[in-house]
Amino acid sequence: MIKKSFNFLFWGGIIAFCAFNVSKHFDSFEIASSQFQQEKYEEADVAISKYNASSHRTIKTVNGYVLQSEISNQLDRFYLGKELASHALSVAQKDNNKKGICISQNALQQSKMLIGDFKDVEKPLHDCLIYFKNEQNDFDTIKTLKNIAHFHLMTNNKNFISTFNDIYSISQKKESLEYLLVDLYVDKMFYHLKRNEPLIAQEMIEKSITLHKKHFSQQLNKLAYLQILSVAPNIGSDKNLDSLELMHKIMDDKNLKFNITMKIHTLLIMGQVYKNLEDIPTSLKFDLKALELFNTFPIKEIHAIEGAMIYKQLLLDYSKLNDKENFTKTKKEADNLLKNFPIAQQMMN
């Protein structure tokens, strides 16, 4: 909270001060939103923190904490993102504001899934889906369905495709909704990779990249990350050398700023490419770098999905190297880390 200082004539000073601070208060939300879109997450976090510190218990407070939750997720602070979304939900529930409750639930369940916590995720999302559909709110209907689709993907739920189709159908109503498909196409890429359908997976990630270029021309980090992900469908094909060239070019670009999660994913994909080239020592080097980055997260803040991805690749490395000692040690570490995250444990198998 900014300390108030009244160095004016009494009434005139109060009016001028209030007018200035109201303007500054709302500007800080717009500034944070703009910086978020420009991938300036640290600056956006400062701006939205100022906004939230001076806001009162209203729907604007809910929007402020939801935005800060999304910013925190981009800064790898998933647990803080969850805490902020929970706070937004508490405010909305006290005011019995149904829209605020559902916006907060979307942010909360998204943060939980990023952590690897899929318990009690689906019901609140379905409840909010009904509300947004009744309100004919296409934007938040799609955002809710995207979270449901991601839940279906991660839990191997057969309803993923029908949910995807529902989202696509709604997005075709207005061109302004089209950008919401960028991340959805990434989920669909992974859906087809799970089904061993690399050509369809490649088509999905290309659609994601095309839409990103169309709607987010300033977000170069996200574009580079999508280009890294586009390598995944080609692992196992004759394009491995081309993939390595692309990835090294992106990784060597000093202007790009990946968060820790994006760096981990990049290193793991590099490791998988080298595994496919039967260069296991190099694969192990990249996977260990991913583990080193993973260990920079706070000890009590377990990022279970990334943990499962890393340990699965390390176990493959040690298995191929016939390194039984490190295999056993790594398996024990993984089991201990993921003991409270059943979906992450399933990913290990």
Q: State the SS3 of the chain.
A: CCCCCCCCCHHHHHHHHHHHHHHHHHHHHHHHHHHHHCCCHHHHHHHHHHHHHHCCCCHHHHHHHHHHHHHHHHCCCHHHHHHHHHHHHHHHHHCCCHHHHHHHHHHHHHHHHHHCCCCCCHHHHHHHHHHHHHCCCHHHHHHHHHHHHHHHHHCCCCCHHHHHHHHHHHHCCCHHHHHHHHHHHHHHHHHHHHCCCHHHHHHHHHHHHHHHHHHCCCCHHHHHHHHHHCCHHHCCCCCHHHHHHHHHHHHCCCCCCCCHHHHHHHHHHHHHHHHHCCCHHHHHHHHHHHHHHHCCCCCCCCCHHHHHHHHHHHHHHHHHCCCHHHHHHHHHHHHHHCCCCHHHHHHHC
Confidence of residue 22 (pLDDT cuts 50, 70, 90): very low
Question: pLDDT-derived band of residue 117, with 50, 70 and 90 as boundaries?
Answer: very high
User: In whole numbers, what is the pLDDT of the chain averaged over residues?
Assistant: 89
Confidence check: pLDDT of 16 > 50: no
| CB neighbourhood size of 220 (10 A) | 15
Tens-digit pLDDT profile for residues 31-77: 999 998 889 999 999 999 988 887 766 778 899 999 999 999 999 99
Split at pLDDT 50, 70, 90, the class of 3 is: very low
Q: Model pTM?
A: 0.88
Residue-wise pLDDT for 73-115, tens only, equals: 999 999 999 999 999 999 999 999 999 999 999 999 999 999 9
What integer pLDDT is reported at residue 26 of this predicted model? 53
pLDDT of res. 171: 96
Count other C-beta atoms under 10 Å from residue 253's C-beta: 13
pLDDT tens digits, residue range 284-328? Answer: 999 999 999 999 999 889 999 999 999 999 999 999 999 999 999
Q: What is the pLDDT of residue 47?
A: 92
